[in-house]
Amino acid sequence: MRRYQAVICDMFDTLVNFRWDRLPLVWFDGREVRSTSPLIYDALNSMCPGVAQPDFCRAFIHTSREAEAIRSATQREVTADARFRILARRLGMADGSPAEAFLQALIREQGRQLLRAMEFPEENRAALEALRSRYRMGVLSNFDYGPTVEAALAAFAIRDRFEVVVVSADVGWRKPHPEIFRETLRRMGMGPDQAVFVGDTPEADVLGPQGVGLDTIWIDRGNASLPPGAAPPTRTVSSFAEVASLL
């Protein structure tokens, strides 16, 4: 491997784990799925009178699925603001002050519920401290609302460990699009030969950074595979905790 000046990390399920099992189950399209929607409905149903919980949850999940389809097809981010404006209209809320108040409350409550489903393992904290003592650190996350990423880092008392925090909602592009990696490198003032990218998703966190010349460390937990014919990552580990000893 090269001699690096910086380590750039994916956020969710690399540095911070997201516990889907902490979210309630909802019946959608003939099967149960995990969703924040029942929790959000319980908190905000007074702002959308006349909307029953099943209808709210169905509209919420349907809108989220549509956003995911756009992201996959275009590599453009669909922000929380854009997604929830569509949801508000789907629920029959006309544009105006009540809809705007609902939108802002919805974004805040979504962030609050997602934070409750996140955890930062102590072994990841130890690895982060070891890496920080030797490298400049950055976070690059595909996420639709930057303040939630910032709030998570602050909640786990690690925001000051990172020189830059780059979120797709603020850049417009999502990994694996090359522009979001280039933007991260620009903010850190370095070239791709000076940093290594660490992440768990083959397309976003291996193929994406490879496309701009970054070395990669893939966290392979055995639940995903590299696409056929893809170049292998520079190194492979099974957890973020292993990265510090590898470097």
pLDDT, tens digit only, all 247 positions of the chain: 789 999 999 999 999 999 999 999 999 989 999 999 999 999 999 998 889 999 999 999 999 999 999 999 999 999 999 999 999 999 988 677 678 899 999 999 999 999 999 999 999 999 999 999 999 999 999 999 999 999 999 999 999 999 999 999 999 999 999 999 999 999 999 999 999 999 999 999 999 999 999 999 999 998 889 999 999 999 999 999 999 999 9
pLDDT given at position 95 = 72
pLDDT given at position 242 = 97
Residue of 135, 180, 184 lying closest to 164 (CA atoms): 184
Domains of the chain: 6-17+119-246 (3.40.50.1000), 20-116 (no CATH)
pLDDT given at position 184 = 99
Q: Please say whether the beta carbons of 110 and 87 come within 8 A.
A: no
